[in-house]
Structure 1
């Protein structure tokens, strides 16, 4: 495992956004674990983990509207998988620090085979339709480059069974990377990596 420094946030975060992945929800293991930690250790920090709509453009609009009053210098975002892609979009637009967990690098390519009716991982009764036009929305959202790579921490598992860790590493090559031997796409050993995430965001310090 290789990891960079974790000193991107000069000041502590007071507003934290968490973005889930494709077919996921705020009920994912990492989202719930992070929410529990924030509630127990940093209740002073405003926490938001919304359910994202299937449309990438609608998701981006909802997020930008939801954080429009957040302080630019004290806000941060964590995103997993497709949420990591969205987190990159927001970080580039808003200048926030971002933690990316096995982030989707080319979701327009990878999700093209998922066009059609889908179900949520955490609620099989919840159906949604992933439309062909959503692929174009993903292409339109993708940032061409990372303007300030030092504001990113990418947590990448070589054992990811869904995304290619080499592609993730190449996309975020100039950022701080925590490269994990093993693990999986869901980052089931999330608790092991939580201290570095908290340090990077300045959340390990008392309010």
Structure 2
């Protein structure tokens, strides 16, 4: 939270059915470790229950030794928005889900985590929890990264929801945000994280 004096931290929030083993999470963790910054990166395995996921990350934020920047992808982008507004943080949103523009009913049903194999049921009650988390963004907090070739989410929904925020919109790509590696140095700069000694 604001006012903490320790080393700045990045908390990465993965997407729906994903995990800390996701491509972007691993790349960011590896690059930060290479720079001597491993202790300043956290990527929790998020509960498939939205309220439980946010309670867990909220505790991580409260316990962080220094100021936190959130980096969220897909559903993790929605979560980052919710937490940034609740805790007064800044956030990088990567092809984020603009929940108030999605038909969440189509996600209700059984799912399997891409990496862990965990099976879970996403219910209408879970969808209602997501809707209740929607928070209007404070523009100065955010940097939005979009690729127009996102095959999972219509990038224009996020572009509209975060219209007043800093945006980088790139042609092509896909939902994974294919150009993520080249943005890692800029994300670290945004988070005011500098190479370790």
TM-score higher than 0.5: yes
Aligned equivalent of 2:26: 32
- Give the Å deviation of 1:182: 0.8
- Give the Å deviation of 1:119: 0.6
Give the aligned CA root-mean-square deviation in angstroms.
2.1
1:186 to 169, 176, 192: 176
Alignment of 1:92 with 2:82, yes or no, is: no
Distance 1:203 1:12 in 2: 11
1:146 to 137, 148, 151: 137
Aligned equivalent of 1:7: none
Aligned equivalent of 1:160: 150
- Give the Å deviation of 1:194: 2.0
Aligned equivalent of 1:177: 167
Aligned equivalent of 2:64: 70
Aligned equivalent of 1:121: 114
Alpha-carbon distance change, 66 to 134 in structure 1, aligned in 2, over 3 angstroms: same
Q: Is the 8 A contact 1:12 1:201 kept in 2?
A: no
Distance 1:182 1:44 in 2: 31
Q: How many residues align?
A: 193
Q: Which runs of 5+ in 1 are unaligned?
A: 1-10
Higher relative contact order (CA 8 A, sep 6+): 1
Distance 1:48 1:28 in 2: 13
What is the CA deviation profile of residues 118-176 of structure 1, one whole-angstrom value per residue up to 9, with x for unaligned ones? 011124x3211112210110111111x223x1121100111111111111111111111
Runs of 4+ aligned residues of structure 1 deviating over 3 Å after TM superposition are 107-111, 204-207
Aligned equivalent of 2:12: 18
Aligned equivalent of 1:47: 41
Aligned equivalent of 1:8: none
Distance 1:175 1:155 in 2: 11
Could you state the TM-score of these two structures normalised by the residue count of structure 1?
Answer: 0.85
Aligned equivalent of 1:80: 73
Q: Which runs of 5+ in 2 are unaligned?
A: none
What is the CA deviation profile of residues 157-200 of structure 1, one whole-angstrom value per residue up to 9, with x for unaligned ones? 11111111111111111111111111111112211222322222
Q: Is the 8 A contact 1:158 1:184 kept in 2?
A: yes
- Paired residue secondary structure (2:102): helix
